[in-house]
């Protein structure tokens, strides 16, 4: 199953693949060259399709649990100062997504959306220390009965050129539902209350809707 954000790109890619395949079949007479070109064309179509895949992962909503919002690798677990909303120290858990990861952002927990803001910015590599402050990003804060206010931030990377955010202030976010999409490489930072005991470690592979980040 594919994510709706990829509909136009997938249609374009399929059409382009069909046209290029016809052109190669008609005008390239050298067997090895024709085969090579067809394989390359098919390869790029597969890359597009796998990038926009949206595997359905059913969950039992747990209000005392924070799940990974995205697929990727845990690259940061540390206390940081959060200047935009909390203006105090928080425990940040950062998950980096490579281009081959699923790029759907899912709500890590249920609660009321208290804050949602888009910030235009640069396109530094996603693991750059300044990426969370200078790159294109969205900031969302959800108020949960068990954890209080928890922030997550979608951050564009060097290849990401569009962040899609579905969270709207005043609405209720349901854990596990689609919260947005980041096109072509990125990361997501979670900002948890200090003292939160996390259940992941550095370099661990996380899976959205499956991996438990923290639990009370």
CATH number assigned to the domain comprising residue 183: 2.70.70
Which residues does the annotation mark as catalytic? 186
Q: Which residues contact 32 (CB under 8 A, 6 or more apart)?
A: none
| Tokens describing residue 145 | 């009965």
Please tell me the total count of domains within the chain.
2
HSE (CB half, 13 Å, CA atoms) of 13? Answer: 17
Residue 77 domain-assigned (yes or no): yes
In this predicted structure, what is the pLDDT of residue 49? 85
Distance CA 158, CA 173 (A): 29
Helices and strands (H, E) in the chain, number of each type: 3, 13
35 with 106, same domain: the answer is no
Residues of the chain short of pLDDT 70, as ranges, are 3, 6, 122-134, 157-161, 184-185
Are 195 and 104 within one domain?
A: yes
Same domain, 42 and 109: no
The verdict on 108 and 36 lying in the same domain is no
Q: Which residues contact 9 (CB under 8 A, 6 or more apart)?
A: 48, 52
pLDDT (0 to 100) of residue 161: 59
In a domain, 57, yes or no: no
Q: Which residues contact 30 (CB under 8 A, 6 or more apart)?
A: none
Q: Are residues 108 and 147 in the same domain?
A: yes
In a shared domain, residues 89 and 186: yes
Which residues form the domain of 36? 4-51
Q: Distance (Å, rounded) from C-alpha 154 to C-alpha 186?
A: 8
Q: Exposed (0-12), middle (13-18) or buried (19+): which is 200, by Cβ within 10 Å?
A: middle
- Same domain assignment for residues 136 and 70: yes
Please state, as a whole number, how many other Cβ atoms lie within 10 Å of the Cβ of residue 130. Answer: 10
pLDDT at 3: 66
**∠ CA(154), CA(149), CA(203), 5° rounding?**
50
Angle, CA of 76, 123 and 214, to the nearest 5° = 25
Same domain, 46 and 72: no
In angstroms, rounded to a whole number, what is the distance separating the alpha carbons of residues 63 and 55? 23
101, 17: one domain: no
Residue 59 in any domain: the answer is: no
Q: Are residues 22 and 117 in the same domain?
A: no
Judge whether 58 lies within some domain: no
The pLDDT value recorded for residue 148 is: 96
Question: What backbone torsions phi and psi does residue 182 show, to the nearest 5 degrees?
Answer: -125, 120
Q: What is the pLDDT of residue 160?
A: 54
């Amino acid at each position: 199953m594919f994510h709706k954000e990829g509909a136009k790109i997938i249609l374009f890619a399929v059409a382009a693949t069909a046209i290029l395949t016809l052109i190669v079949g008609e005008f390239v007479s050298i067997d090895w060259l024709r085969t090579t070109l067809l394989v390359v064309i098919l390869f790029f179509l597969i890359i597009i399709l796998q990038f926009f895949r949206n595997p359905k992962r059913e969950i039992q909503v747990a209000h005392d649990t924070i799940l990974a919002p995205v697929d990727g690798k845990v690259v940061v677990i540390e206390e940081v100062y959060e200047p935009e909303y909390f203006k105090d120290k928080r425990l940040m858990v950062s998950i980096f997504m490579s281009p081959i990861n699923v790029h759907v952002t899912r709500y890590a927990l249920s609660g009321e959306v208290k804050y949602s803001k888009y910030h235009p910015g640069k396109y530094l590599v996603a693991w750059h220390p300044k990426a969370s402050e200078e790159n294109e990003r969205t900031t969302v804060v959800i108020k949960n009965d068990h954890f209080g206010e928890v922030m997550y931030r979608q951050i564009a990377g060097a290849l990401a050129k569009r962040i899609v955010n579905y969270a709207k202030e005043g609405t209720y976010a349901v854990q596990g539902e689609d919260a947005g999409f980041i096109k072509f490489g990125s990361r997501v930072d979670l900002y948890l209350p200090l003292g939160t005991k996390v259940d992941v470690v550095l370099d661990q592979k996380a899976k959205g809707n499956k991996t438990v980040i923290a639990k009370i």
